[in-house]
Every structure is written in C-alpha cells, then in structure tokens.
Amino acid sequence: MTETKELRKTKYLNPYLGGVLLGIVLLSANFIAGRGLGASGAIKSTIVATMNTVAPSASENSAFVKEFQGSHGGNPMKTWLVFEMLGVLVGGFISGAIAGRLKFKVEHSPKITSRKRLILSLIGGVLFGFGSQLGRGCTSGSALSGMAVLSLGGFITMMAIFGTAFALAYFFRKNWI
C-alpha cells in the first residue's frame, strides 16, 4: 500500500523543479522574442482569422478585429502565440506519452457525473475565454508573464483570478473533492 502510494506520488515532476523549468522557458521567451508566454491570444487569433474568412465585410467593420489587426499586422494565424500553442499540444503529448498518461477520459469527482463535469467545463471555458479578452490575457499571458516583467496589471489580474477562485471554492467543492 505504502509502496503504491510512493509510486503514485513520484509520477509528476517535483513542483519546485517544474517551476524553475517553467521560469526558464518564460525567460527564454523574453530573451528571444521580447515577450512572455500566452495561451488565450492564440484563440483570439483563430477567432479573428475565422471572422475574416466567414464574414469578411462584418469583420472589416468590427472594432474587435481592428483592435487586433492594429497590433498584429498580416495573417492572424501567423503569430507567435499560435505557433507557441501548437507547440504546447506537442509538448504536452510527449510528456504524457513518456509518463504513460495518454488516455481519453473525463476527469471528475466521483460525486458528479461525466455529463455534469462536461457542462461545467464548457461554462468555465466560456467565462475564462471572455475574461481573458477583457483582462488582456489569461493566467499565462497576463498573470505569469506579467509578473515576470513586474507589470502592475499582471499582479492585479493574478490576484483577481486566484482571489475569486478561492472565494468561490466553497460553493463548488462537490465538483472537485
């Protein structure tokens, strides 16, 4: 029993080592590209590209698209974050393959059904997607990368994200514990 528990405990990287490695990845991004990591920006690029293709005239008049194109000229899919996020899928897959964690499954607390978990995932995703646009970046782009360059906004967004999640944790405890 203890042995199995030990095995289960060691299947992930030590969190402090993981943190240092992630910090080095973030430092490399800043050193090479002069910018931090991100995630939600790649989704925004995809949405802008889709709007340009599906409804070009509406897209041309959209203030949202104009705002994006103002800071990213050219093809919205040929941006740093799109390539980075494609890399994340590859890197995550490689790590999962090495550790033997590749498996199609819905991860949820035994107290809720898979269906409920998926509905909550969808709602959480919608909120996070919307919030990341308002907050000019998500946990990666705004909070983590912002903190590394000492951005005031990065620290504020980080505190707002974690503070709210802590404040609401009690009400959603059945979904996780």
Per CB under 8 A, contacts with other proteins among 121-140 are: 121-140
Supply the minimum distance, in Å, between the C-beta of residue 141 and other proteins.
8
Phi, psi angles (nearest 5°) of residue 34 = 70, 25
Q: Which of 1, 2, 3, 11 binds other proteins (CB under 8 A)?
A: 11
Ranges within 144-163 binding other proteins (CB under 8 A)? 144-163
Q: Give 143's DSSP letter.
A: I
Give CA separation, 44 vs 8, 51, 95, in Å.
37, 10, 26
Q: Which amino acid is at 2?
A: T
28 in contact with other proteins (CB under 8 A): yes
Residues 6+ apart with CB under 8 A from 110: none
Ranges within 79-98 binding other proteins (CB under 8 A)? 80-81, 83-96
Binding residues for other proteins, total number by CB under 8 A: 126
40 in contact with other proteins (CB under 8 A): yes
* Side-chain-facing half-sphere of 172: CA atoms under 13 Å: 13
Supply the minimum distance, in Å, between the C-beta of residue 112 and other proteins.
11
Q: Which of 49, 52, 76, 141 binds other proteins (CB under 8 A)?
A: 141
CA–CA separation, 70 vs 53, rounded Å?
18
